[in-house]
């Protein structure tokens, strides 16, 4: 009876560890895909508005995932220049003083923005290294 309990606990621990590893792998892979999409979208935005635009994109993508709404409404909002300009202004105010933020969604968006910025720096460093290796 004691050996059966040991095997059961071992099997459960093995399943938990493999489930956690699979979750981490898929989360990292999906985040990489998401960052690549955001990177492509951010190329079309002027440099002075880039961080505000990125924060807006992260905030809207998080709110869309919570609402499970269609993506067409978000793209329609982005087509409206007044809405977009107002949101970018609001995001720039948040970026200037992020200590006043109390909204959970905005805090998660700011965290995602910081993660994206570190990912982007690593991507740029990797790209320059590849170019230098090809030049050598």
Evaluate whether 105 touches 62 at the Cβ level (below 8 Å): yes
Q: Give the domain range for residue 97.
A: 3-134
Mean pLDDT of 1-8: 88
- Binned at pLDDT 50, 70 and 90, residue 65 comes out as low
Longest CA pairwise span in the chain (Å)? 71
Sign, CA dihedral 22-127-51-78, equals: negative
Tell me how many domains the chain contains.
1
Summarised one tens digit per residue, pLDDT across range 73-126 is 666 777 788 888 888 899 998 889 888 888 899 899 999 999 999 999 998 888
């Amino acid at each position: 009876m004691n050996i059966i309990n040991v095997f059961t606990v071992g099997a459960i621990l093995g399943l938990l560890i493999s489930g956690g590893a699979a979750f981490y792998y898929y989360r990292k892979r999906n985040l990489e895909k998401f960052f690549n999409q955001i990177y492509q979208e951010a190329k079309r935005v002027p440099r002075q508005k880039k961080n505000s635009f990125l924060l807006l994109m992260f905030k809207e993508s998080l709110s869309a995932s919570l609402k499970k709404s269609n993506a067409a409404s978000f793209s329609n909002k982005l087509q409206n220049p007044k809405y977009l300009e107002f949101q970018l202004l609001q995001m720039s105010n948040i970026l200037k003083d992020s200590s006043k933020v109390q909204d959970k969604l905005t805090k998660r968006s700011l965290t995602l923005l910081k993660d994206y910025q570190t990912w982007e720096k690593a991507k740029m460093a990797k790209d320059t290294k590849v170019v230098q290796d090809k030049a050598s």
